[in-house]
Structure 1
Amino acid sequence: MDREVVIVGAGPAGIATAACLNLHSIPNIVLEKEDCLGSLWKKNSYDCLNLHLGKRFCQLPHLALPRHAPNFISKADFIKYLDEYAEKFRITPKYQTCVKSAFYDKESMTWHVVACNGATGKTEEYLPRFLVVATGENAEGVIPQVPGLHTFQGEVIHSYFYKSGEKYNDKRVLVVGCGNSGMEIAHNLATHGAKTSIVVRNPLHIMTKEQIFLGMKLVQYLPFELVDTIIVTMARFTFGDLSNYGIVRPKDGPLVLKARSGRSAVLDVGTVQKIKNGEIKVYGPVSSVEENNVLFMDGKSEPFDAIIFATGYKSTANKWLEDGNETLDEDGFPKKGFPNQWKGSNGLYCAGFARRGLAGISMDAINIANDIKKAYK
């Protein structure tokens, strides 16, 4: 099948890129291995999830979120927005189509994309001039290697599969990972009566959503370092010194840290208060597991009924992209740093790898479509 552009992935990055291409009347097709668009949001995100940033930083190109919507919108409202976005820009992904390989043919100057149609079982081939990798940063959950984890007799899952704390009432649950997902899951577990603990391995910033929202507005006019000083001072006033609970702040401020490393501040949903009142216990790094007991680096040991790993995700692009070595590193992320990470070589593009959330996705989609338009004849 001949298309000018093949987009792999029908998450926000894929449909945003398709929308921008459609506005330029450039033929494209979106291939999606699942049976719906935005599958990570629809199938593999916990029920209590809300967007962490204000809606002005979470909308896709050429369609604003509704004015009447709250500033921090819910998962359900964002899913509705994604569906309306696809309908408005006439995006019809080809579902249950899993890309198995893609390589660049120098003679024809086209990409050779091989996919399997899950509905028919047949192999399909596409020969586009341009290929957009939009499978995202969060394609597959990562569970680190922990000595003895295989001996654990309780439940072990990645946060990718967590939905609600209802079934964990009165169970001893350890959440490994203290990013936004880990902290929100810990709060949700404690709210549902679980005996909750969380592992905090590294320094982290804990802020309110309003503080980060203010910071993102101020940084448009003031230096990052100055804005960080302002919002960190506000956070200290809000939360106090958390070092007695095993939580310390990094040396760099939250906005500088995000720009340099992609690490986000934790936006508190009430977890800090539950830590302070003892509903959630904080532990340091895990050293090993022995059946139901988890051993920690400081020598402590506690029994648990379940372990939930909120330990991040990885890209899967390297599993099927055969000629991406010039563009992607061994972890499947662009070698180029922001703001040039979206463009590779030979008509290869990356959408949604900026580590800057939905705002980064929007920038990628616009840049990719404009660049393809220049080459399109």
Structure 2
Amino acid sequence: MASLRKQEEDNDELNCLFVHGPIIVGAGPSGLAVAACLQEHAVPSLILERSDCIASLWQQRTYDRLKLHLPKQFCQLPLLNFPDYFPKYPTKRQFISYMESYAKHFSIDPKFRQPVLRAEFDPLTGLWTVQTQDFHYFSRWLIVATGENAEPVIPEIPGIDRFRGPVLHTSVYKSGSEFQKQRVLVVGCGNSGMEVSLDLCRHNANPHMVVRNSVHILPREMFGVSTFSVAMLLIKWLPLRLVDKFLLLVANFTLGNTDKLGLRRPKTGPIELKNATGKTPVLDVGALSQIKAGKIKVVEGVKEITRNGAKFVDGQEREFDSIILATGYKSNVPSWLKGTDFFTQDGMPKPPFPNGWKGENGLYAVGFTRRGLLGTSSDARNIATDIADQWRIINKDIRKKEQL
């Protein structure tokens, strides 16, 4: 009996690992970026990833036709650019290959299949304890890199459980080829809802897109230049609201009055709205022309799902073969990070951009800026510099003690 207890204690010790550098939770673009920036400062790190690959959102939860919505120069990570031969808007496969090359270039080797069950700071030891199903890891620093899009948002729609056809989130949608000649209800009108509707349309399906709230739709390019590039240039010289007015003026000129199509614009301008709420304007890649042609039908909010279709708030009722939820993603940080009030109940840092990258007691966050990969790059550099300064002091003290 005593020997068995001793064996269990030895196993517990084997499962406890002290990490000299920071622990990074998440091996998506954010986790890879901060690991690379730390490496530039000669600071080691350990990445814990719940899936079996890097960039799992891109590899496992995106549809086939996905491309970057912004030009590649706004989406590359620190210290390594996209290859010159990549197109202006890289495809899903190209972005994944870039991520894989990035990890290889910086010799980043995450520990896969290590979902974090709990992470908490211990004030007695001054260390973070990070628990997975296999290990207890300890470190002075914890970097949360799970991002804004960790879990699919599944809305509660009355009656959806009794629908006779398939109901799926866009996280498992791959191609419209599976829905040929079907009547498909697409719930959501953001970039994903628009693109999935367009993809369905091109595979001879009959998509109906639910538009419950107002939405900004902008052309992906203005005068041959990306809309995002134009906005970033103008913001350097003009007040934000004036830039918004310019974008809407050009959008109305090139796309027409979207209100007539059932796509009401918010009263707040597109950039101001994104900065305040994180709601991204839709960059049109062809869906609007299909809406104008009547191939993608816009419908109002869903009141109730029936066995054969849906009832809408305007009183109409229609039959559908499938339902696709283009309802986005959310952070999962509150489910595993404990003992800190740095994050809100929604799993976002409380300090607004650009100050949401650093908490207390060695806690950091990367990829929660609501500003895409540009924000991720900024966070990664700031975090790496801050930790590197501490790393040098700690190692200097250690060397002094060794000399005594």
Give TM-score, length-normalised by structure 1.
0.96
The answer on 1:85 being equivalent to 2:115 is no
Contact 1:212-1:231 within 8 A present in 2 as well: no
Contact 2:163-2:308 within 8 A present in 1 as well: yes
User: Equivalent residue of 1:68, what SS?
Assistant: coil
Q: How does 1:58-207 map to 2 (within 5 A)?
A: 58-116=75-133, 123-207=134-218
Deviation by residue 1:52-109 (Cα, 9 ceiling, x = unmatched): 1111210111112223322211111111111111111111111111111111111110
Deviation by residue 1:316-353 (Cα, 9 ceiling, x = unmatched): 111111123x2111121111111111111111111111
Structure 1 residue corresponding to 2:344, chosen from 322, 329, 332: 329
User: Equivalent residue of 1:355, what SS?
Assistant: coil
Deviation by residue 1:251-300 (Cα, 9 ceiling, x = unmatched): 22211111121111101111111111110110111111121120111111
Per the alignment, residue 56 of structure 1 pairs with 73
Percent identical across equivalent pairs? Answer: 47
Structure 1 residue corresponding to 2:363, chosen from 348, 352, 365: 348
Contact 2:219-2:255 within 8 A present in 1 as well: no
Per the alignment, residue 252 of structure 1 pairs with 268
Number of aligned positions between the proteins: 370
The answer on 1:21 being equivalent to 2:38 is yes
Contact 2:77-2:373 within 8 A present in 1 as well: yes
Deviation at 1:301, TM superposition (A): 0.8
Paired with 2:36 and 2:162, the residues of 1 have a C-alpha distance of 48
User: Equivalent residue of 1:127, what SS?
Assistant: strand
| Amino acid in structure 2 at the alignment position of 1:264 | T
Per the alignment, residue 291 of structure 1 pairs with 307
Paired with 2:97 and 2:337, the residues of 1 have a C-alpha distance of 31
Of stretches 123-132 and 315-324 in structure 1, the one that deviates more from structure 2 is: 315-324
| Amino acid in structure 2 at the alignment position of 1:96 | R
Deviation by residue 1:225-251 (Cα, 9 ceiling, x = unmatched): 222222211111111112222111112
Greater Rg over alpha carbons, structure: 2
Q: Which runs of 5+ in 2 are unaligned?
A: 1-16, 222-226, 395-404
Per the alignment, residue 232 of structure 1 pairs with 248
User: Equivalent residue of 2:85, what SS?
Assistant: coil
Per the alignment, residue 361 of structure 1 pairs with 376
Q: Moved runs in structure 1, 4+ residues, more than 6 A?
A: none
The answer on 1:6 being equivalent to 2:19 is no
Q: Which runs of 5+ in 1 are unaligned?
A: 117-122
Paired with 1:10 and 1:371, the residues of 2 have a C-alpha distance of 21
Contact 1:171-1:194 within 8 A present in 2 as well: yes
Paired with 1:171 and 1:213, the residues of 2 have a C-alpha distance of 38
Deviation at 1:217, TM superposition (A): 2.6
Structure 1 residue corresponding to 2:353, chosen from 335, 338, 341: 338
Give the root-mean-square deviation of aligned CA atoms.
1.1
User: Equivalent residue of 1:102, what SS?
Assistant: strand
